[in-house]
Structure 1
Amino acid sequence: MSVQRHGVSIGLERIDGDFFLTMHVRGKLTHEDYQSLVPMLESAIAGVENPKINVFFDATEMEGWEPRAAWDDFKLGVKHGREFNRVAMVGNRRWQEMAAKVGSWFIGGEARYFEDEAEAMAWLMEGS
């Protein structure tokens, strides 16, 4: 019997019009994960003129996206992409680096892949 662990923890802080979103994913992202994430994000940025969102995305335990979740991610990028300033993905797999590059096509800012958490945080903070 194998145990499949899955989960996403989400943190969101706001300083004036700047937002700092943290995500830690274990397993595969699901449609249900986006059903939790998107309303929280939209509620936080509602009424803020020109919000600026920086994202720290810990993907070191991530195994990918379910197909419907990948579509949810695409829709989120299309709808709110210009509001994302910087997205730092920390991972340990080649496909994650490619995902960060592709993701940067759908946001107004930059997305970068890192293998070192401290480097990712330093890059996010210099863009604030």
Structure 2
Amino acid sequence: MLQILEFTKNNIIATRAKDNLTETDIQKIHPLIHNIVNRGKKVRWYFEMENFSGSKLNAFWQDLKMDMSHADDYEKIAMVGDKKWQNWITQFMKPFTNAEIKYFELEEKEEAKEWVS
């Protein structure tokens, strides 16, 4: 499930992902991305993860990156979650975006929000 957080505003998309992500979750994100891009801005994404396995996250990003037309539309991505995913996520994200990607542990949520802003 992907929850859109209140922190979403201007060119910032803020989400919390829990457990399994679905096609419906992907459909929640695309209009937000298009809205930002259509206003001539780059997307800054705060992506918080909870109770994830690598395959669940991998499937989500593979589905999302199918729209490669947006590869250059991301400016910053703050990945927030368990430290065990830090290297894997950072390496996985690099091929499909030129965005600056930074990883934060769950305890660093506020720092991540400040960084992405």
Highest relative contact order (Cα 8 Å, sep 6+), 1 or 2? 2
RMSD: 2.3
Give, in angstroms, the shift of residue 106 of structure 1.
Answer: 1.6
Q: Write the letter of the residue equivalent to 1:111.
A: I
| Matched pairs, number | 112
Q: For structure 1, which runs of at least 5 residues remain unmatched after alignment?
A: 1-6
Higher strand share: 1
Give, in angstroms, the shift of residue 58 of structure 1.
Answer: 0.6
Q: For structure 2, which runs of at least 5 residues remain unmatched after alignment?
A: none
Percent of pairs identical after alignment?
Answer: 23
8 Å contact 1:26–1:61 — kept in the other structure?
Answer: yes
Name which of 57, 63, 88 aligns with 2:78.
Answer: 88
Higher helix share: 2
Q: Distance in 2 between matches of 1:112 and 1:119?
A: 11
TM-score norm. by structure 1 comes to: 0.71
Q: Write the letter of the residue equivalent to 1:52.
A: K
Q: In the alignment, what sits opposite 1:35?
A: 27
Q: Distance in 2 between matches of 1:118 and 1:67?
A: 25
